[in-house]
């Protein structure tokens, strides 16, 4: 997809417990949502609260719930995986990374 749209794609996965000590970003987002005073009852509430968050420095968060069904069990060869321009982030590199598009000729 990064090659198709020619834009880097950043992927961030968060642990099931958003306030986990292992990942500070979700803790900040949950802290913000607690300030709103709404219980996190369903996905829509969570997405709306996270999407409405912004930091003191002006960072705005965009959140979208993906409800699509995806085929499972697709195998990616080592060669295909090596072709992906993947840069792992310093914090939780197994969960957080950016995929950059290949340069067009």
Run means of pLDDT, 10 residues per run, the chain, 105 residues = 91 61 50 54 80 80 86 92 92 90 85
Q: In angstroms, rounded to a whole number, what is the distance separating the alpha carbons of residues 54 and 37?
A: 16
Q: In angstroms, rounded to a whole number, what is the distance separating the alpha carbons of residues 41 and 75?
A: 36
pLDDT, residue 55, reads: 78
pLDDT, residue 98, reads: 94
SS3 5: helix
Q: Residue 64 contacts by C-beta under 8 Å, 6 or more apart in sequence?
A: 47, 51
pTM: 0.48
pLDDT, residue 94, reads: 86
């Amino acid at each position: 997809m990064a090659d198709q749209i020619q834009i880097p794609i950043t992927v961030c996965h968060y642990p099931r417990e958003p306030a986990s000590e292992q990942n500070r970003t979700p803790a900040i987002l949950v802290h913000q949502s607690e300030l709103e005073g709404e219980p996190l009852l369903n996905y829509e509430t969570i997405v709306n609260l996270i999407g409405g968050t912004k930091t003191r420095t002006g960072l705005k968060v965009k959140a979208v719930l993906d409800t699509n069904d995806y085929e499972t069990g697709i195998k990616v060869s080592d060669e295909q995986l090596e072709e992906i321009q993947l840069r792992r982030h310093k914090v939780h590199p197994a969960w957080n990374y950016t995929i950059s598009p290949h340069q067009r000729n």
